[in-house]
Structure 1
Amino acid sequence: MKREGDFQMASSTLIVDYSWSGTTAQMAVDLQQVTGADKVNLTVAQGTFPPDMFATADVASQQLSSGNLPTLTNGLPDFSHYQTLLVGGPVWSGKVATPVRSFLQQLGAFRGLVAPFYTDAGNPGGYEDDFEQLITQGTFVMGLGMTAGDLPRDQQVLRGWWRNFQN
């Protein structure tokens, strides 16, 4: 079984996720079980975001307005070893969470498939449109959104979504 952060080209797919509350992290773990992909969690400095959801939304809004996105504190693999990136994060005010946005800016010349998976509180807003605009070189593939209430049955849904990449 692959361990998080084990980048030994065991897979042509990489799962990258940021989770504020743990919901997206659970979806990423389940997705790794379905796909067998390598996986890495995106991290930011402790204290970057407050524990309150509404206060976090305010911080993220300020980050977007200023263009001062959070710095990722973990190492990232060489993306050239992968054909597909599955990128997970929470929906923040209908937008891509700022740590995920920071990651997408680091993709550089990655030309493979890039698909979002995301968690929301019931309304993803324009998340996928926002995500697609952040992909500069790769090929955007329609994503999969879920709520915390969907997670108990997500394995079947994740398998169905993953089949789209097998064709």
Structure 2
Amino acid sequence: MTNNVLIADYSWSGNTAKLATIIQQETSADRLDLTVAAGTFSDDMYATADVANQQLATGQLPMLTSEQPRLDQVQLLLVGGPVWSGKVATPVRSFLQQLQGYQGTVAPFYTDAGTPGDYETDFAKLVPSLSVATGLGVAASELTQSNQLVADWLQKLTVK
């Protein structure tokens, strides 16, 4: 079953990576860590927010340094990222731009510092021609007890 599921995630602080690891443990799916060039973002969240806002204002999203996956056999693509200013992080936006022609279902998962904003609405707007399933949002403070949240979400997606 997991041959047709792929987890692709970008993690700035490590929180989304933790959530992706839990999802991978539950599904045994392959995982792609979305990466950008070293130095693209600061270790300071405010400086990172400034860079991301500039990227959004200019339309110059960061280039991903991770390989573009083959998606022809993937039926369910689980795409994870952090919430930045209530929206999809710019590296995840870069990845979503590469999904033209993808025929499966996309389901977002995301981590936030307590304010998810309009993440799922923003995500769906970025891939209007794709089938988007209900996402899973987890606050950083809930990560340690998120196993049941993940299991419930995956059950709704019929992954388990």
What is the TM-score with the length of structure 1 in the denominator? 0.92
The CA distance in 2 between the partners of 1:165 and 1:91, in whole Å, is 22
Matched, 1:25 2:27: no
User: 127, 135, 141: which is aligned to 1:143?
Assistant: 135
The CA distance in 2 between the partners of 1:161 and 1:94, in whole Å, is 21
8 Å CA contact retained: 1:110, 1:137: no
Aligned to 2:84: 92
| Partner SS for 2:134 | coil
Select between 10-19 and 20-29 the one with higher mean Cα deviation.
10-19
User: 46, 50, 53: which is aligned to 2:42?
Assistant: 50
The CA distance in 2 between the partners of 1:28 and 1:86, in whole Å, is 9
User: 3, 28, 50: which is aligned to 1:11?
Assistant: 3
Provide, for residues 102-130 of structure 1, a one-character-per-residue CA deviation record: whole Å limited to 9, x for no partner: 00000111121101000001011111100
Aligned to 2:101: 109
Instruction: Report how many residues are paired.
Output: 159
The CA distance in 2 between the partners of 1:166 and 1:141, in whole Å, is 11
User: 107, 124, 137: which is aligned to 2:116?
Assistant: 124
Q: Structure 1: which amino acid aligns with 2:130?
A: G
CA RMSD of aligned residues (A): 1.3
> Which sections of structure 1, spanning at least 5 residues, go unmatched?
1-8
Matched, 1:161 2:157: no
Aligned to 1:60: 52
The structure 1 segments of at least 4 consecutive aligned residues displaced by more than 6 Å after TM superposition are none
| Partner SS for 1:107 | coil
The CA distance in 1 between the partners of 2:134 and 2:106, in whole Å, is 9
Q: Structure 1: which amino acid aligns with 2:16?
A: T
Q: Structure 1: which amino acid aligns with 2:35?
A: T
The CA distance in 2 between the partners of 1:125 and 1:136, in whole Å, is 19
8 Å CA contact retained: 2:9, 2:34: yes
8 Å CA contact retained: 2:79, 2:106: yes
The CA distance in 1 between the partners of 2:145 and 2:30, in whole Å, is 22
Q: Structure 2: which amino acid aligns with 1:100?
A: V
What is the TM-score with the length of structure 2 in the denominator? 0.96
8 Å CA contact retained: 2:64, 2:91: yes
| Partner SS for 2:8 | strand
The CA distance in 1 between the partners of 2:43 and 2:61, in whole Å, is 18
The CA distance in 1 between the partners of 2:142 and 2:84, in whole Å, is 18
> Which sections of structure 2, spanning at least 5 residues, go unmatched?
none
